[in-house]
């Protein structure tokens, strides 16, 4: 049985784990490591100290699919709809440019529930606060080192974090619910994000709050405020000539995937997970 490590418990990693389980049932032991304290990645849902009161999606807010993807990814959408994770979004999204035939979906329990659904289907051994710092080739396997110290070996490794974070890795990576109250998420523009990227969140939060107050002067005092800085948010240009994935090494397999190899949305992650599955099935 091959031991496969998937680094990243975001949508791409969790879907890849789920597909591996379904397609290679007894041939793989799937392990997922994420440096964060929970799953979701850029589809994370924040819960305040009292989780029964309200929640907020910090990254992705809703899912839009084109007619072509609605057809080719039909099984994923129908699975999520029938399990109640997704619901059609029937209201108008202010400012959204509606494209012909596109459909919008929302998540009653937060975007993170999409990721959690696939993780639970995968049956993977899931470890949080496992920050990968380096990958080293050891014959036919990979030694994977963690920030907290220690390492483990795997027969194949799948990296699903944003490319700038893949490039920070050391080693041989190859420089070759009910009763919830309302929450309000304020997204800044890309130029604003770039301008303030290196500043402390504590310094930027008041600027955002001041602007918000101008827009919504009657807004009640919030119970809690969380300022989230996405250093790596959405992909502007995908990695060229690597549709869905990049195979860094065939043996032992090292595959990079995620939205950087497709595009930054649900369907982009599905595309990447499917193409990594094809590579792993061929090589394991
Ligand atoms: C502000 C914002 C709004 C968005 N809005 C939408 C939207 O409305 N609709 C939509 O469909 N998409 C939206 N997107 C895009 C969508 O969120 C992403 O395309 C998708 O979540 C990417 O998933 P992923 O699994 O590829 O990567 P990620 O979600 O980034 O997952 C990578 C995981 O790897 C972990 N990780 C990173 N480095 C390490 C390491 N060294 N060791 C261990 N773990 C590591 C991270 O903690 C993370 O959990 C939005 C994104 C942002 C940031």
Q: Which domains does the chain have, with CATH numbers?
A: 2-60+110-180+234-283 (3.50.50.60)
Q: Can you tell me the distance from the alpha carbon of 154 to that of 88, in angstroms, rounded to the nearest whole number?
A: 40
DSSP class of residue 43 equals G
| Ligand 1 contact via 265 beta carbon (within 6 Å) | yes
Q: What is the CA radius of gyration of the chain?
A: 20
Q: Can you tell me the distance from the alpha carbon of 74 to that of 14, in angstroms, rounded to the nearest whole number?
A: 18
| Ligand 1 contact via 86 beta carbon (within 6 Å) | no
Please report, in tens digits, the pLDDT of each residue of the chain (284 residues total).
999 999 999 999 999 999 999 999 889 999 999 999 999 999 999 987 776 778 899 999 999 999 999 999 999 999 999 999 999 998 877 777 777 889 999 999 999 999 999 999 999 999 999 999 999 999 999 999 999 999 999 999 999 999 889 989 999 986 554 456 688 899 998 889 889 999 999 999 999 999 999 988 888 888 889 999 988 888 889 999 999 999 999 999 999 999 999 999 999 999 999 999 999 999 98
Whether the model pTM is above 0.75: yes
| Ligand 1 contact via 264 beta carbon (within 6 Å) | yes
From 10, 69, 164, 189, give the residue whose CB has the most ligand 1 atoms within 8 Å, as the site to mutate.
10
From 38, 57, 60, give the residue whose CB has the most ligand 1 atoms within 8 Å, as the site to mutate.
60
Q: In Å, how far are 48, 112, 209, 235 from 42, measured between CA atoms?
A: 18, 9, 22, 12
Q: Which candidate, 59, 60, 56, 63, places its Cα nearest to that of 109?
A: 56
| Ligand 1 contact via 275 beta carbon (within 6 Å) | no
Q: Say what the pLDDT of residue 177 is.
A: 46
Q: Say what the pLDDT of residue 152 is.
A: 97
Q: Where are the alpha helices (DSSP H) in 24-182?
A: 67-72, 74-82, 112-122, 163-166
CA of 229 to the centre of ligand 1 (A): 13
Which residue CA neighbors atom 1 of ligand 1 most closely? 59
Q: In Å, how far are 33, 144, 182, 215 from 223, measured between CA atoms?
A: 32, 41, 11, 19
């Amino acid at each position: 049985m091959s031991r496969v490590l998937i680094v990243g418990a975001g949508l791409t990693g969790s879907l890849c784990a789920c597909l591996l389980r379904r397609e290679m049932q007894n041939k793989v032991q799937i392990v997922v490591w994420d440096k964060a304290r929970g799953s979701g990645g850029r589809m994370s849902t924040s819960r305040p100290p009292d989780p029964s009161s309200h929640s907020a999606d910090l990254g992705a807010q809703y899912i839009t699919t084109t007619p072509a993807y609605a057809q080719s990814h039909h099984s994923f959408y129908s699975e999520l709809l029938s399990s109640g994770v997704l619901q059609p979004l029937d209201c108008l999204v202010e400012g959204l440019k509606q494209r012909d035939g596109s459909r919008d979906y929302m998540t009653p329990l937060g975007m993170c529930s999409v990721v959690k659904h696939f993780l639970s289907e995968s049956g993977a051994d899931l470890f949080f606060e496992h920050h990968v710092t380096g990958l080293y080739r050891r014959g036919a396997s990979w030694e994977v080192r963690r920030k907290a110290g220690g390492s483990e070996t795997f027969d194949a490794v799948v990296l699903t974090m944003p490319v700038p974070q893949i490039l920070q890795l050391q080693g041989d990576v190859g420089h070759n619910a009910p009763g919830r109250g309302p929450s309000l998420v304020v997204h800044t523009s890309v130029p604003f994000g770039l301008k303030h990227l290196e500043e402390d969140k504590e310094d930027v939060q008041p600027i955002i709050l001041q602007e918000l107050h101008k827009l919504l002067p009657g807004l009640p005092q919030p119970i809690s405020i969380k300022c989230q800085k996405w250093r790596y948010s959405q992909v502007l240009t995908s990695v060229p000539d690597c549709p869905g994935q990049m195979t860094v090494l065939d043996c032992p397999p090292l595959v990079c995937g995620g939205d950087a190899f497709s595009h930054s949305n649900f369907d982009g992650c599905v595309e990447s997970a499917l193409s990594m599955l094809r590579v792993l099935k061929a090589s394991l």
